[in-house]
Amino acid sequence: MDQYQIRGGRPLSGRVEIHGAKNSVLPMLASTLLHHGVSVLHNCPRLSDVDASLAILRHLGCRVNREGDVVTVDAATVGRWDIPDALMREMRSSVLFLGAILARTGRADVSMPGGCELGPRPIDLHLAALQRLGASMEQQGGRLICTRGDQLHGAEIDLSLPSVGATENAMLAAVGASGRTVIRNAAREPEIVDLARFLRGMGARVCGEGSSTLVVEGKVPLHDSDYRVMGDRIVAATYLSAVAAAGGEAELTGVDPSQFASVVALLRQGGAEVRCRPDSVWIRSTPPLSGVGCIRTAPYPGFPTDAQPVVMAALCRSRGTTVFVETMFENRYRHVDELCRMGANIRAEGRVAVVTGVDRLHGAPVQAHDLRGGGALCVAALGAEGETAVTGLNHIRRGYASLVEDLSALGADIREVNE
C-alpha cells in the first residue's frame, strides 16, 4: 500500500510556491461548458479531483488538453448531458457540473451524489435553486433527470444556507438563463470571487461576489478566455500548520493570506510569528504553541472547516487546551483517533473536540480517512519524534498536488513509498 514515510522532530525552513486552488478550479472547469469555444486555465493543480473533472468534460464531448499547469478546454461540441455513475462516484463535487450541463444542453442526467467521508452531503439547495430558474427534475432509480434547461429564466434565489456548491451551481445556471438572477445569502468564499472573475473573463455579467448578494445577467454572448487560478488557501493553511507543529520558518508565495486571515490570527494567538504580504505569507514558530481557547468553524469569513484538521494537528503539541466546534460537517473528526495513536490527547464528542496539549508526539502507522484529515496526519508527523507511515494517499491526492515535494523543499524528511 502506498504510503508517506515521515521522520519528524526537526524544524522546517525554506520557501514554497502554493499551487492553484482545487475549490476554484473545479467549478471553473464546469463553467467551460457555458461557452461554445476555448477556455484556458493557468495554475491548474495536478489533483485527482481535477483529473476526474477533465474526464467528465471529455465524456460530454469537449476536447481537453493539459500541458504542465495549463489546461485548455474546447467546448465547441458538447453532445452529451449525462455523467456516468462511475465518474459521479469518483468525485462528489461532480454535482457542480449540473447547472452548467443544464444551461448548455437543456437537460442533465446525473446520479445522485452519495455522502462522503465527511457525512451526508445533501444537494437540496442546489436543486431548489435550479428549479427557481425554471428547471424541472425528477429522480429515477438513483439518477437525477433534469429538463427545461433551454428555458431557464432569471429568478430571485434565497439560499437558506450560504452553501458554496449551491451558490456555484446557481451562478452557472444563471449565466445560461435569460434575464436577471439575484442570489441572496450566497457563499462569500474567495473561491466564489475567483469563479466570478473567471466568468467575467469569458464575457458573463456577474457582480456582487464576496458579498451575500450576487447578481447575474444571463444569456450574454461569451468568448474565449484565459485565466490564472488563485493559490490554494487551504494548502497554505496546511503548510503554515506544518511549521507551527515542527518549528522553524517558511515563506509561502502565490497565495493571498487575507483569504485565510482567521487561520493566521489563530496561529498568532498560539504564539507563532506571521507576516503577510498581498501574495505571500511568512511564518516563524518555536513549539509548543499555546492553546487558543475555542475554534468554531463557520462559512467565510469565519474559520474554514477545511483548516480545522490541520490546525488541530498543530495544536496537539501545545501548552493548554483548545476546544473545536465543527459546525459544517457531521463527521469531520476522523483524524482524531489517528492523531491519538501518535500520543495526542483529544476527546471528540459529536461536533466538539477537546485538544489537551501534550509535550511530545511519537511516530506511528496512521491512515487518512479524508482529504484534510490526511493533511493533518502529515502535519502532526512533522512535529512527532520518530517515523510515521501515512496511508490512505488516495484521499490526500485529491487536494494536495505536491505535498512531498513542497514539504521536502521546507527541509522535511518525507518520502513516498509505493508498494
Q: In the complex, what is the shortest distance from the CB of residue 178 to ligand EPZ, in angstroms, rounded to a whole number?
A: 25
**Alpha helices for 301-402 (secondary structure H):** 308-315, 336-341, 371-382, 393-396
Phi, psi of 257, rounded to the nearest 5 degrees: -65, -15
| Residue 52 or 355 with smaller CB distance to ligand EPZ | 52
Residue 340 buriedness (CB in 10 A; 0-12 / 13-18 / 19+): middle
For position 228 contacting ligand EPZ by CB under 6 A, the verdict is: no
For the segment 356-395, give every residue that binds ligand EPZ (CB under 6 A).
371-372
| Residue least distant from ligand EPZ (Cβ) | 165
What is the residue-wise DSSP string for 296-322? EB-STTSB-GGGHHHHHHHHSSEESEE
| Residue 289 or 368 with smaller CB distance to ligand EPZ | 368
Is-cis flag, bond preceding 288, omega within 30? Answer: yes
Return the residue of 26, 157, 202, 396 that touches ligand EPZ, per CB under 6 A.
Answer: 26
What is the residue-wise DSSP string for 111-154? EPP--BTTB----HHHHHHHHHTT-EEEEETTEEEEE-GGG-B-
| Residue 28 or 344 with smaller CB distance to ligand EPZ | 28
Amino acid identity, position 58: R
Would residue 254 be called left, alpha or beta, if left means φ above 0 and alpha means ψ between -120 and 50 degrees? left
Question: Is 44 considered catalytic here?
Answer: no
Q: In the complex, what is the shortest distance from the CB of residue 23 to ligand EPZ, in angstroms, rounded to a whole number?
A: 3
| Residue 317 or 397 with smaller CB distance to ligand EPZ | 397
Task: Decide: 92 and 126 in contact? Cβ < 8 Å.
Answer: no
CA distance linking residue 324 with residue 352, whole number of Å = 6
Part in contact with ligand EPZ (CB under 6 A); list of ranges 115-123, 136-144, 218-226, 309-317: 115-123
Terminal alpha carbon distance of the chain? 5
For position 329 contacting ligand EPZ by CB under 6 A, the verdict is: yes
Return the residue of 3, 32, 53, 93 that touches ligand EPZ, per CB under 6 A.
Answer: 93
Task: Decide: 80 and 55 in contact? Cβ < 8 Å.
Answer: no
Q: In the complex, what is the shortest distance from the CB of residue 37 to ligand EPZ, in angstroms, rounded to a whole number?
A: 25
Would residue 181 be called left, alpha or beta, if left means φ above 0 and alpha means ψ between -120 and 50 degrees? beta
Task: Decide: 8 and 363 in contact? Cβ < 8 Å.
Answer: yes
Helix (H, G, I), strand (E, B) or coil at 206: strand
CA distance linking residue 144 with residue 82, whole number of Å = 10
Q: In the complex, what is the shortest distance from the CB of residue 397 to ligand EPZ, in angstroms, rounded to a whole number?
A: 13
For position 306 contacting ligand EPZ by CB under 6 A, the verdict is: yes
Task: Quickly count helices (H) and strands (E) in the chain.
Answer: 14, 26
| Residue 35 or 372 with smaller CB distance to ligand EPZ | 372
| Residue 3 or 305 with smaller CB distance to ligand EPZ | 305
Q: In the complex, what is the shortest distance from the CB of residue 368 to ligand EPZ, in angstroms, rounded to a whole number?
A: 12
For position 334 contacting ligand EPZ by CB under 6 A, the verdict is: no
Q: In the complex, what is the shortest distance from the CB of residue 8 to ligand EPZ, in angstroms, rounded to a whole number?
A: 24
Active-site option among 116, 146, 316, 378: 116
Q: In the complex, what is the shortest distance from the CB of residue 379 to ligand EPZ, in angstroms, rounded to a whole number?
A: 15
For position 161 contacting ligand EPZ by CB under 6 A, the verdict is: yes
Q: In the complex, what is the shortest distance from the CB of residue 224 to ligand EPZ, in angstroms, rounded to a whole number?
A: 25
- Grid look-up 475554534 returns 295
| Residue 107 or 126 with smaller CB distance to ligand EPZ | 126
Return the residue of 101, 328, 342, 364 that touches ligand EPZ, per CB under 6 A.
Answer: 328
CA distance linking residue 74 with residue 62, whole number of Å = 6
Part in contact with ligand EPZ (CB under 6 A); list of ranges 19-27, 133-141, 240-248, 256-264: 19-27
For position 232 contacting ligand EPZ by CB under 6 A, the verdict is: no
Return the residue of 32, 94, 238, 305 that touches ligand EPZ, per CB under 6 A.
Answer: 305
| Residue 38 or 236 with smaller CB distance to ligand EPZ | 236
Q: Catalytic residue numbers?
A: 116
> Contact residues for ligand EPZ (CB under 6 A)?
22-23, 26, 93, 121-126, 161, 163-166, 187, 305-306, 328-329, 371-372, 399
